[in-house]
Amino acid sequence: MFIFWVCVVLASVSPSLAGYIQSPGFPHGYHANLSVSWRRCAPPGHVLSLTLLHLDLEDSGECEDDVLEISKDGYVLANLCGKMTFEELQSSVNPSLRSSSGGCLFVGFYSDNSNPEGHAGFNAIYTTPANCTENRYGAGVLTSPGSPGPYYEDAHCLYSLSVDEGNQIELKFTGVFDVESINGRCIDFVKVKTDTETFGPFCGKDRPADIHTAAQHVQVIFRSDLGGTNQGFSLQYGPKVMDCSGKVTPHSTVSPVKERYTVGEKVTVRCEQGYILDDTTDSFTSTCQLNGKWSVIRNCESANCRLPELSDPMVLNEKDPEKTFKHKISVTCSTHYYNLVGNANFTCDATGEWVAENGQNFSQLTTMCVPVCGMTKSSAGGRIFGGKSATLGQIPWQLLVKEPNRGGASLINDFWAITAAHVVVVKQRPLKFIGGMVDAQSRNQVEMETDKIIIHPGYDYTKSHYDNDIALVKMSSRVPLSENIMPVCLPERKSSGPVMEGMHGTVSGFGATSDRRQRSRYLQYGNVKEYSGHCFNTDLKVTENMFCAGDTDGQVDSCKGDGGGPLVIPMLEVHDTPYRLKGIVSWGPPACGDESYKGYYTKVENYLDWIRETMEKN
């Protein structure tokens, strides 16, 4: 079969030669004391290429025993011995075994006086591909090797074309174009390359369109295999005054729009949608140069969006999301103690910003996790002074400060609490509030250290009244919300009627539980109602910023140590609506629990604007 293949090649229309060379006796082993040589030459316009298929000789230092020697033009290309695989031969030996154009290769095989291990020898094939590497200048015509007849088999042609500066090379295929292809796939091909662009590969019978290379230097590459009788191509080349194509940089558009631009002409370049310039400008100007290139050239990069910086408890729903143009992300809150307010879904837009469906950019000012307020773990009834002990999670917004003044406070979000000004007016900072417990001595309590204490500017502790008895407390770190520590809701608006809206409410605290003023270890609560007018006869000033509440029989009342604590509506038995903070325990009569005496509470709804503005500024 191998001989038949050789005969087919020799019968080809190409003047090239092909055949094989092998050691005597291959593959059954070579004899001792051999000295055999071969000389193979290429016809004009071709080179002779030798490919070793098998090498198995006795190994020795510097190949002094058995050796395969290959040379050309009087110098040695390779001295080989030992054993090598075909892959090793292809990677390290065969590429160098080529003659000069029209030249010869000399192959010699020499063995010493023994071959004890029965080494197989060597086997090689040689071909004579067309050698059509040329440098050309100016104008002319290129034709496939072998023209005007069918082109040579196994052709490896590289034509380098050049013209004067200020000109470009214009290429025009003329006459018959016939380059082998099968089912649209190129078997042989013509290709044109510049330093910035590749045209082709071209094959088949359809003549390619004219090529404006926009280049002073061009390479024309032609390759053919070992079969076929195709007629090839004719390519006319020559200089043309340089111009530039409409492609300045990838992923961009130019204006004005033209097919070609003359030297010195300027265009404005803008990135396509989804791509941006590295300095965020929207365009740049570029000028066509003598070499057919544009200057300035800048890259249009994919509009990657940086992932937004999310503060706890906001998190991404996706793990390692794509951040390029048109990709999407969504955010949520990490626990059910928060509700997401604002947009949840965002798309990376062409400017590199995450944008919601309503066109709003991502911002933690507009998308945030807001603590769930006014919810409790459970609900129960109870009558503070004359009150009952609360269960864990029943009043989760209740906070306690033990010193310097014992008092209460209410958590209103995961950073802020609200209390009475008289509880924190002694300027010892930082204060420590505790929460998440109903036992003041519990080891499982949550400690919160204050960062800022902001007393209402209208409060004056030097005067004999409690007007504006309200203060805000900012904690130094986010309060870890749980079923045992959650914020209470603020009033939605200022009421036009009774502060408690005709409902019974619940007051709670760790204050005295009897007229002996002994502080309670356990959180107490009781239900109270609002009274119009004054609570009791007093010389202290009563203002519109206070309201009176208590119990009709004097069994439930706030007392010393409850100051700053919450009064919420509805009372704890009703839990189908969020609990809202209506009052802050402020002041009352000298004795607690007298049926004719009630207590005064700071009216929280009068301070909604001050509360909101203070938290926003701090």
Determine whether the annotation assigns residue 537 to a binding site.
no
Determine whether the annotation assigns residue 225 to a binding site.
yes
Distances (CA, A) of 312 to 317, 319, 332, 615: 14, 16, 11, 18
Contact 493, 608 (CB under 8 A): yes
Query: Please, is 596 exposed, middle or buried when counting C-beta atoms within 10 Å of its C-beta (0-12, 13-18, 19+)?
Result: exposed
Determine whether the annotation assigns residue 123 to a binding site.
yes
Quick one: which H or E segment has residue 130? none
User: According to the 3-state scheme, what is the secondary structure of 24-66?
Assistant: CCCCCCCCCCCEEEEEEECCCCECCEEEEEEEECCCCHHHCCC
Query: What region does 616 belong to: left with phi over 0, alpha with psi -120 to 50, or beta?
Result: alpha
Determine whether the annotation assigns residue 210 to a binding site.
no
Cα–Cα dist 254/274, whole Å: 16
Cα–Cα dist 509/583, whole Å: 13
Query: What region does 364 belong to: left with phi over 0, alpha with psi -120 to 50, or beta?
Result: alpha
Cα–Cα dist 439/182, whole Å: 89
Residue 330 has what DSSP assignment? E
Cα–Cα dist 463/460, whole Å: 6
Determine whether the annotation assigns residue 449 to a binding site.
no
- Nearest in space to 346 (alpha carbons), one of 379, 318, 385: 318
What residue ranges in 372-516 does DSSP mark as E strands?
388-389, 398-401, 407-411, 416-419, 432-435, 446-455, 471-475, 505-509
Query: Please, is 53 exposed, middle or buried when counting C-beta atoms within 10 Å of its C-beta (0-12, 13-18, 19+)?
Result: middle
Phi then psi for residue 325, to 5 deg, are -50, 130
* Annotation: binding site for Ca(2+): 58, 66, 117, 123, 180, 188, 225
- Known binding-site positions: 58, 66, 117, 123, 180, 188, 225
